[in-house]
Amino acid sequence: MIIVPEKVIPALIGHEESYAAIEKVFASMASRKAYNFPVIREAIGYADALYGFKSGFDRDALNLGLKSGGYWPGNAAKGLTNHQSTVFLFDADTGKCRAVVGGNLLTALRTASAAAVSVAHLSRKDSEVLGIVGAGHQAAFQLRAVADQRDFRKVVAWNRTPEKLEGLAKVAKDLGLPFESVSLENLGAQSDVIVTITSSFAPILLAEHVRPGTHLACMGTDTKGKQELDPALVTKATCFTDEVAQSITIGECQHAIAAGSLADTDIVELGAVINGDHAGRTSDEEITMFDGTGVGLQDLAVAGAVVALAVEKGVAVEVDF
């Protein structure tokens, strides 16, 4: 069995390798060669923690396994990240444990890659202004991954507490892009692509904020009750997702579905666009929306890629198990 510790992962994988793994697994999901198993997430009644696992099998890449972990709010005080996760991969031929891989950086990379893949396949090619809503841990990863997909000229951003935007401003500077902290109205009026990555439980972006032709990558809503968009905006947009079952239950589309203004059959898997089975955006005026709910197969895809890279570079720890 191979162990790839969290500390060696930053030197092994970046946005480019993660993007390739995520685009491929979304395509496999849409062609029904890869599927996710039901998600388990529980408040365990100890340390205020939320714990669970996401799992699945990709028959194309032979990635079988799960990501296990969750949220421990007391970790920051102990000098640890609140979100903790580990990926376990199993041999699809024998069921033996193949690898254990640190899942913290991989979670941020695979989430950013999902948004980036949606931008590459759904946003207007002439997109120039990138809007980011949110400035937490994931936001910087989102900015780096998405900025690569179009010839962006500027980044505009909004956060509930604007002082936290300093970190994003530094990333934009690093990328050589001008950065502005703006109101939501101003962000919507300027942006061609908007990424939302907050933990909000109420709408932030409203239909009147967003102009025709915008692509929205909605990445924050991954739990029942969370919400970043006004359902009227979701209804106005052409909706794409990683997985329809998650989109309608724990993703951004859950609210428009509950309101009866959207049907599950209105939502298209991004993989169908990647495979050429759906046209994706059909006009420069269309608002497209990607509901990135985060599926277990994304975790397995990047973990599989990292195991291959660790073996290639000789940093995988092998144990007899």
The catalytic site residues sit at 67
Binding mask 30-69 for ligand NAD (x = CB under 6 A): ----------------------------------------
Whether the Cβ atoms of residue 106 and residue 22 lie closer than 8 Å to each other = no
Q: Pick from 52, 70, 136, 203 the residue near ligand NAD by CB under 6 A.
A: 136
Number of chain residues interacting with ligand NAD (CB under 6 A): 23
Binding mask 221-240 for ligand NAD (x = CB under 6 A): -x---x--------------
Shortest Cβ 197–ligand NAD spacing (Å): 5
- What are 42's strand-pairing partners? 51
Binding mask 242-281 for ligand NAD (x = CB under 6 A): ----------------------------------------
Residue 69: which H helix or E strand, with range? strand 63-71
Nearer residue to ligand NAD within complex by CB, 115 or 316: 115
**CA–CA separation, 286 and 30 (whole Å):** 23
**DSSP assignment letter at 15:** H
21 binds ligand NAD (CB under 6 A): no
160 binds ligand NAD (CB under 6 A): yes
Cβ neighbours for 268, distance < 8 A, ≥ 6 positions apart:
238, 239, 240, 241, 278
Q: 6 — phi, psi (to 5°)? A: -50, -40
Shortest Cβ 2–ligand NAD spacing (Å): 25
Q: 309 — phi, psi (to 5°)? A: -70, -40
Q: Pick from 135, 210, 270, 289 the residue near ligand NAD by CB under 6 A.
A: 135
293 binds ligand NAD (CB under 6 A): yes
Amino acid identity, position 2:
I
Tokens representing 161 are: 């507490």
Q: Where are the beta strands (DSSP E) in 94-231?
A: 97-102, 129-133, 154-158, 179-181, 193-196, 201-205, 215-218, 227-229
Q: Pick from 113, 198, 238, 288 the residue near ligand NAD by CB under 6 A.
A: 198
Whether the Cβ atoms of residue 88 and residue 100 lie closer than 8 Å to each other = yes
Three-class DSSP category at 317: strand
**Near ligand NAD in 60-119, by CB under 6 A:** 107, 111
Give the CB-nearest residue to ligand NAD.
136
Binding site for ligand NAD (CB under 6 A): 107, 111, 134-139, 159-161, 197-200, 204, 219-220, 222, 226, 292-294
